[in-house]
Structure 1
Amino acid sequence: MNAPLPGLPAVLALGRPRLTAGFDLAARLDRRTHLAVHGPPPQLTEAELVTLAETITLRGRGGAGFPLARKLRAVGLAARRRGTGAAVVVNGCEGEPACRKDAVLLARAPHLVLDGAVLAAEALGAATLVVGVTRPAAEESVLAALAERGLTDRRGRTLRARVVRLPERLVSGESSALLRAADGGPPLPPGRHAHASEQGLGGAPTLLSNAETYAQLALAAQLGADRYAASGTAAEPGTLLLTVSGAVPEPRVVEAPCGVPMAHLLRSCGAGPDLQAVLTGGYHGAWLDAPTAYAAAVSREGLASCGGSLGSGAVLPLSAGTCPLGEAVRVAHWLAAESAGQCGPCRLGLPSVAGSLADVVAGGGRAALETVRQAAGAVRGRGACAHPDGAARFTLTALSAFTDDLAAHVLGGGCGRPTLGVLPLPLAAGATEGSPESAERLAVDWTLCEGHGLCAGLLPELVRLGPDGYPALAEAGVPAHLRGRALRAVRRCPALALRLDRELGRES
């Protein structure tokens, strides 16, 4: 419990593997092995590629689910209208702690992703290809794959290709943050909404989608639309990659046909029958209570029809032995700490959501519950990126999915269960891979604290002022990117009451 996912989880295929074909032959498919498994990709014109993406109704697999054909068409039209070249960007920056599907693809089947990206680049006449990653295994694998293809960033090449490494943070997965970093800026959303298809990398029309989307495009081009549609549903043909963790014996990346029953997926991954609920779509996704989840089909349409979300492809069953609202508090605090710090709804609103939810669990009653709902509603649609919206969805659907536990906490003395830390979160500052959740945490010496509130102003992601004017600290370790500000808050405490402690993870 309380452990992050491994960098490259075990892989399971339900049915005949496609994206994961050849994984039984090698830990990583080099160029020669890739060609033996998948064959060389065809060359398609822009019109043919658009038609193919439309025929198989291919949508982005990174969370938003935007139709790829519309992106392709928009980039091509913008490039011709402006008389400029285009660019292609692969977003392999999985910022969610519960997602590893793109990491597995880039580390084990990088040429399948590059087949799709190069196919798109050639069809659009793009001069630049950028692959964004956050983890060292993906970076090393993609760099090796580019070298195996003879693709470099040297001037004079028809297609210049390079890899950009971003920090392992949730906001690194935002498309605008990746584009900004690829152009030499900070890896943060810029706060303005511009379509990459009009003005993306270096100001050029840019096709930007996630790693799985390009791999799916390559498969469809190789198989043809009819053979590609032999798997999945009529509305959503093909397979999809999912990361299943939480209350399972071990986390797995699963390739399954679109529309696979959730019950079959969970049984195949070893989930027990005593589940409380399932989080669908990751930490920007939505909770489903157990009966609803078991009856759902795992597809974009199937999950949306019952209030769930395919999102980033994460599926997290929650066991009956843990406090579900306590689990939600842990994640809500982490979401608050992942703020880019560029807008008020995110930097100030998300800590308020997390703190109010913690108040509910601690017995704050109806007033605390109403504060959670108001705080979550206040941040939606007001952020510089989609992070506040996703965090609000996670919190509000938790209130809907765990009504019995909510009543126990609001009206009684709580549900009586510990918080086991079933939902995976990254290691906090000072922790080491493979160890218990050893981390630095903020602590207050209450014999010294005078309620000045300076710490809440300096570090609202982890500290807020309670109703009595004294600080309330997040039940979470200090993330590495906030450690500098945490030390600053400690140094500036007028009463010397705030400190950073190293301690082992707790169960409740």
Structure 2
Amino acid sequence: MTEIAVRQVGPPWLTRGLEGGGRLDHRAHRELHAVLRPLESDQLIALAEAGRLCGRGGAGFPFAIKVRAVVNSAVRRGRRTVVVVNGTEGEPGSAKDKVLLGRAPHLVLDGAALAATALGSVEIVVGVTDPGTAASVELAIRERGIGERARVVRLPERFITGESGALVRGINGRRPIPPGRKGHASTRGVDGLPTLLSNAETFAQLAVLAGLGPARYRKVGTADEPGTVLLTVGGSARFPAVVETAAGAPLAHLLDLCGSRAGSGVLVGGYHGAWLSGDIATRTQVSRASLEEAGGTLGAGIVMPLGRGTCPIGEVARVARYMAAESAGQCGPCRLGLPDMAGGLAALAAGRDAAAALEGVRRSAGMVVGRGACAHPDGVSRFVLSALDVFEADIAEHVERGGCGRPVLGVLPAETEAQSRLEVDWSRCDGHGLCADILRGTVRMDEHNYPVIPADPIPVRLEADARKAVAMCPGLALRLVQRVPKESRE
């Protein structure tokens, strides 16, 4: 797990003892945090309601409602329950849950164990993708001696792995992708049992709330959003960090703390979030209400300022291509809409027929909203459409001049596990266009009706289609070349 600094503004309730970067074992944890008194399910619900505790994984759903739904389902069906900690954190710009599980795993387990006891759960399952995180949690389970009722499940590190349905499927031994039919883990989750599923920070917040009590917990933050918030500040920040701050703190102050200004724009909420202009971002507070009023979202607590040295359209295009590759590919919006959107943004960034490309991006984004098997297409559309608004002046340069003159520095993380790329033997290519039909949104035809092949590696999800394109090329002009890993070249 990549080390990242931890900074604090206000009381360090979640990150106490983490400033030095080390991991708190069970003994060190107990010196900093109270032993929690067991609760009944109705007491747990009352505690969450009194502390106005909401999920910190993105949707901000009230925790008490989740607990009540699990209780009602268990009573109605006469079944036991399961508690699931979502520590997958597939969002490339997020590190807060990895920090908690890697350095303060016992705080998360405190909250999970409190919930499991209240619900009479058969087990606690912690879903992770990072090997370092998995090792830390497994060690914490051994340190607490709860191996008979807690386990770690490691899943593939993909953006969609953290979607609740995908996580449940993965824990159940199936492919971890969002199910085609929407359902609720509270009704039927792990092993078909009613499941309380929330992310790592939520369970850590629950432990803090139970330890402090609602009255003290509500003295920090805002009236509607008490307590602290964990943010991952990255992007062009000179000092990227996981920051714990009281809800309601000025966003501009946190950017200054991490060595960044709002610049040309600030992404809030991650790649399912939205862009804010620099002026608006500096007047915004760190709270769900303030960010939503500004046109953004708190989401999973990701803040990525974009400096003026990089091309914002190129950065957005890179992320859009990554997000299209990271989809489950099981519905039309993901299989067709997102690749079309990504291809249009790539053309816009390169200045190729930019006006038509811009119109195509808007059309694709509008067509996928509300039509996906999960929230992935909606989230990507929000990310892209907000970028078109915030970076309107930059887009005008791309349309009028073919570009803005700035390089694409890769400030926004958008890495894939892709290992292959397409090459064309131009002496054989006759421009039949079959490759563009098969790899829609990845390969495009230029004005001379010849394919435009991306220089970037082909996403893993599309490798089968890439092989099909190679096999079906009438001129035998395509080939798939294996990328040599960097470490093998050094």
Q: What's the TM-score, normalizing by structure 2?
A: 0.94
SS at match of 1:348: helix
Q: Of residues 193, 197, 214 in structure 2, which corresponds to 1:208?
A: 197
What's the counterpart of residue 74 of structure 1? 69
Q: Of residues 113, 119, 124 in structure 2, which corresponds to 1:124?
A: 119
What's the counterpart of residue 448 of structure 1? 428
Question: Whose RCO is larger (CA < 8 A, sep 6+)?
Answer: 1
Q: Of residues 18, 21, 44 in structure 2, which corresponds to 1:23?
A: 18
Q: Of residues 294, 298, 315 in structure 2, which corresponds to 1:327?
A: 315
Alignment of structure 1 residues 33-432 onto 2, 5 Å:
33-153=28-148, 160-272=149-261, 275-361=263-349, 362-426=351-415, 428-430=417-419
Counterpart amino acid of 1:399?
A: L
Write the distance in 1 (CA, Å) between the matches of 2:460 and 2:108.
30
Q: Structure 1 residue 189: deviation in Å? A: 1.2
Q: Structure 1 residue 304: deviation in Å? A: 0.5
Tell me if the contact between 1:337 and 1:461 (Cα under 8 Å) persists in the aligned partners: no
Q: Structure 1 residue 487: deviation in Å? A: 4.6
What's the counterpart of residue 435 of structure 1? none
Write the distance in 2 (CA, Å) between the matches of 1:203 and 1:186.
16
Instruction: Deviation per CA, 1:397-439: give whole Å up to 9, x if none.
Output: 0000011111112233322212111111225435xxxxxxxxx
SS at match of 2:264: strand
Q: Which runs of 5+ in 2 are unaligned?
A: none
Tell me if the contact between 1:428 and 1:478 (Cα under 8 Å) persists in the aligned partners: no
What's the counterpart of residue 156 of structure 1? none
Write the distance in 2 (CA, Å) between the matches of 1:405 and 1:373.
16
Counterpart amino acid of 1:99?
A: S
Write the distance in 2 (CA, Å) between the matches of 1:99 and 1:172.
14
Q: Structure 1 residue 134: deviation in Å? A: 0.4
Write the distance in 2 (CA, Å) between the matches of 1:73 and 1:424.
38
Instruction: Deviation per CA, 1:186-228: give whole Å up to 9, x if none.
Output: 1111211001111111111111110100100011001101111
Q: Structure 1 residue 125: deviation in Å? A: 1.2
Q: Which runs of 5+ in 1 are unaligned?
A: 1-5, 154-159, 431-439
Counterpart amino acid of 1:297?
A: Q
Write the distance in 1 (CA, Å) between the matches of 2:157 and 2:216.
37
Write the distance in 2 (CA, Å) between the matches of 1:58 and 1:449.
60
Tell me if the contact between 1:8 and 1:103 (Cα under 8 Å) persists in the aligned partners: no
Q: 1:339 to 1:446 in 2, by over 3 A?
A: farther
Aligned length: 484
Write the distance in 1 (CA, Å) between the matches of 2:235 and 2:76.
48
Q: Structure 1 residue 351: deviation in Å? A: 0.6
Write the distance in 2 (CA, Å) between the matches of 1:504 and 1:144.
32
Counterpart amino acid of 2:91?
A: E
Q: Structure 1 residue 443: deviation in Å? A: 3.3
What's the counterpart of residue 5 of structure 2? 10
SS at match of 2:121: coil
Counterpart amino acid of 2:205?
A: Q
Write the distance in 1 (CA, Å) between the matches of 2:454 and 2:63.
40
SS at match of 1:84: coil
Tell me if the contact between 2:6 and 2:19 (Cα under 8 Å) persists in the aligned partners: no
Tell me if the contact between 1:248 and 1:270 (Cα under 8 Å) persists in the aligned partners: yes
Write the distance in 1 (CA, Å) between the matches of 2:485 and 2:138.
37
Q: Structure 1 residue 468: deviation in Å? A: 5.8
Q: Structure 1 residue 229: deviation in Å? A: 1.5
Write the distance in 1 (CA, Å) between the matches of 2:21 and 2:403.
50
Counterpart amino acid of 1:132?
A: G
Write the distance in 1 (CA, Å) between the matches of 2:220 and 2:457.
43
Write the distance in 2 (CA, Å) between the matches of 1:67 and 1:476.
41
Q: Establish whether residue 463 from structure 1 lines up as the match of residue 464 from structure 2.
A: no
Q: 1:79 to 1:449 in 2, by over 3 A?
A: same
Write the distance in 1 (CA, Å) between the matches of 2:440 and 2:59.
29
Instruction: Deviation per CA, 1:434-469: give whole Å up to 9, x if none.
Output: xxxxxx433333332233444345444633455765
SS at match of 1:315: strand
Write the distance in 1 (CA, Å) between the matches of 2:70 and 2:222.
29
Counterpart amino acid of 2:287?
A: S
Q: 1:427 to 1:346 in 2, by over 3 A?
A: closer
Write the distance in 2 (CA, Å) between the matches of 1:13 and 1:267.
13
Write the distance in 2 (CA, Å) between the matches of 1:264 and 1:208.
33
Instruction: Deviation per CA, 1:303-323: give whole Å up to 9, x if none.
Output: 101001111111100011111
What is the aligned-residue identity percentage?
56
SS at match of 1:127: strand
SS at match of 1:422: coil
RMSD: 2.1
Tell me if the contact between 2:266 and 2:306 (Cα under 8 Å) persists in the aligned partners: yes
Deviates more, 1:324-333 or 1:406-415: 406-415
